[in-house]
Amino acid sequence: MIRTPSLYSQDDPITAALKPSPSETEHERAVRLASEAEAKRISEQIDDDLREERERLKRRKGDVKLLLLGQAESGKSTLQKQFQLMYNPNSLNQERASWTTVIYFNVVHSLKHILAILENWDDSLDGVESPGDDSSQSHSSRRGGFGGNDSGSPSPSPMDVSPSPIRLEPRDGGAVQIANLRRRLSPLIATDEQLADRLSGGITVSGSGKGSVFVRSGWQSRTVESALGRIRKRPSSEDERYAREGADEQQDPLVKEIGRMLQLCENDIQELWNHPTVKGLMAKRKLKLDEWSEFFLRHIHRVAAPEYIPSTDDILHARIQTMGVAEHTFDVNLHGKNVTWHLFDVGGARGQRHTWVPYFDDANAIIFVAPVSAFDQYLEEDPRTNRIDDSLQLFTQICSNALLKNVHLVLFLNKTDLLRAKLDRGLRVKKYITSFGDRSNDYETVVQYFRAHFLQVHRKNNENRRVLYTHFTSVVDTKATQRIIGNVRDSIFRGYLQSAALV
């Protein structure tokens, strides 16, 4: 007979220490056995997790890992949606209905913001300053020159002052009209927090400002799940009709109710959006709306329609902040070879950037997204830092990071459509970026100026003499972006094949 060592061998001091006391009662024995069983379960779970992780790493060995990096609002998640549209369009269709919640939230939040600005403005409608004036935040206290020099911006040039400042609505009629709109819209505005809660699953992120909502990877199904307590699987299809047919049975009662409210309030929203006071404040830049706010308010007739299902363009314009790192997987076929790509879409706010590092050591490529339209904007997390300055600082850190020194590097100078629109509206770069000086304020000069700064950062931090691939992009433009994604895919693939010694 084979003899096995006793469970409580006298030779082992640890097992001796764990040996039950001879005076152990029945109850103590039951508690001990339960805790030993729980410890065993946890240990086995850890072993399973480790085995799974090893398998996953083994599987991923030949895969391409692409990181999307850049500051908050730069367009990383929008670019990820373009990849999804290109390589896994069914998955975008399956989650189409869940974007309704985000878009309703974007609309309600924008209305709330407009009404809040109007409230603060009611008392001082006559105190309108010159166009282009941006006195809601003092420039002199901000970093506006490249490289974080604290030079601030020059005071507005007398040339910028309009000889006849726009007069906003007189207090009486306009103010009464706005007060009525505020009253009628208040039930809709009151849903803001419920919507935020639905999207974030109750998680709030400190310092997120503007009442933004952060979502973790997989929020689309969780949003529906948390509302209904179940997820219904639908057959995948490229047809938006599926989304429409499935949407009703899957729809969250809160979202349904807000859809109904939007329908009833559409005229009031139109009236507020087209109100001369709102237009006047926007022209004076006393009221600054984010690009997605303007987009959805311009399309409110469609968004407030019964049975609204977001179009692909709507999904590309919807705004929700990424929390942590979200992994998306696609199969990319090139020259008959099928390779799995893992796209890592990161949260770009300063408080999120520490989550990027664990993904650096086995990354093959990075697309760094820098919004060039942001020259007149400041960080949510640090209102003293100009957004372009922050992008350059972040790009410096990425270029100089030792873990990333062999990674294929692509730069997207993004939001060129918004840059063009701002310049066309007469915004002057020099007012925000002092080093721009007296250069011509046209689109070509401005984009080349920004590009030169990014190239300079790359040159100064390029011991390995790696190539930087640069693209001017507007990632909400599907046709142009998909063409660029094709180029990027080819260049990443070439590098990948070379490093895998397959060519």
Ligand X SMILES: Nc1nc2c(ncn2[C@@H]2O[C@H](COP(=O)(O)OP(=O)(O)OP(=O)(O)O)[C@@H](O)[C@H]2O)c(=O)[nH]1
Instruction: List residues near ligand X by CB under 6 A.
Output: 70, 72-78, 291-292, 316-317, 319, 321-322, 347-349, 414-415, 417-418, 474-476
The residue among 216 and 466 lying less far from ligand X, judged by its C-beta, is 216
Residue 436 CB contacts under 8 Å (≥ 6 apart), including other chains: 429, 430, 446, 449
The footprint of Mg ion on residues 291-350 (CB under 5 A) is 322
Q: How far is the CB of 205 from ligand X (least distance, A)?
A: 10
Q: How far is the CB of 77 from ligand X (least distance, A)?
A: 3
Site size toward Mg ion (CB under 5 A) is 3
414 annotated binding-site participant: yes
Q: How far is the CB of 198 from ligand X (least distance, A)?
A: 18
321 annotated binding-site participant: yes
The footprint of Mg ion on residues 152-191 (CB under 5 A) is none
Altogether, the residues listed in the chain come to a count of 503
405 annotated binding-site participant: no
Burial class (CB in 10 A: 0-12, 13-18, 19+), 94: buried
Over the range 271-305, which residues count as b (16 or more CB within 10 Å of their CB) and which as e?
Answer: bbbebebbebbbbbbbbebbbbbebbbebbeebbe
Q: What is the DSSP string of 105-156?
A: HHHHHHHHHHHHHHHHHGGGTT----TT--TTS-GGGSB-SGGG-TT--PPP
| Rounded Cα distance, 442 and 275, in Å | 31
Q: How far is the CB of 66 from ligand X (least distance, A)?
A: 15
The residue among 242 and 368 lying less far from ligand X, judged by its C-beta, is 368
The residue among 478 and 491 lying less far from ligand X, judged by its C-beta, is 478
Q: How far is the CB of 303 from ligand X (least distance, A)?
A: 14
| Rounded Cα distance, 283 and 276, in Å | 10
Among 71, 77, 101, 223, binds Mg ion (CB under 5 A): 77
- Distances from the Cα of 224 to the Cα of 202, 230, 252, angstroms: 14, 8, 6
What one-character DSSP code corresponds to residue 341? E
The residue among 125 and 392 lying less far from ligand X, judged by its C-beta, is 392
The dihedral formed by the CA atoms of 107, 108, 112 and 118, expressed in degrees to the nearest 10: 50
The answer to whether 432 and 160 are in contact (CB under 8 A) is no
The residue among 181 and 215 lying less far from ligand X, judged by its C-beta, is 215
Which entry of ligand X, Mg ion, none binds 72, CB below 5 to 8 A by partner kind?
ligand X
Which entry of ligand X, Mg ion, none binds 278, CB below 5 to 8 A by partner kind?
none
Structure tokens at 53: 């992780």
Q: How far is the CB of 212 from ligand X (least distance, A)?
A: 8
Residue in 124, 68, 22 with CA at minimum distance from that of residue 394: 68
The residue among 29 and 298 lying less far from ligand X, judged by its C-beta, is 298
What are 343's strand-pairing partners? Answer: 66, 328
189 annotated binding-site participant: no
| Rounded Cα distance, 196 and 142, in Å | 31
The residue among 279 and 350 lying less far from ligand X, judged by its C-beta, is 350
Structure tokens at 5: 């060592």
Q: How far is the CB of 418 from ligand X (least distance, A)?
A: 5
45 annotated binding-site participant: no
112 annotated binding-site participant: no
Q: How far is the CB of 295 from ligand X (least distance, A)?
A: 7
317 annotated binding-site participant: yes
Structure tokens at 15: 């097992």
Over the range 65-76, which residues count as b (16 or more CB within 10 Å of their CB) and which as e?
Answer: bbbbbbbbbbbb
448 annotated binding-site participant: no
354 annotated binding-site participant: no
- Distances from the Cα of 90 to the Cα of 85, 180, 233, 246, angstroms: 8, 44, 13, 14
Which entry of ligand X, Mg ion, none binds 266, CB below 5 to 8 A by partner kind?
none
Which entry of ligand X, Mg ion, none binds 74, CB below 5 to 8 A by partner kind?
ligand X
Which entry of ligand X, Mg ion, none binds 84, CB below 5 to 8 A by partner kind?
none
The residue among 472 and 493 lying less far from ligand X, judged by its C-beta, is 472
Which residues participate in the annotated binding site for Mg(2+)? 322
Q: Annotated binding site for GTP: which residue ranges?
A: 316-322, 414-417
Using CB under 5 A as the criterion, which residues of the chain lie in contact with Mg ion when the complex forms? 76-77, 322
Residues annotated within the binding site are 316-322, 414-417
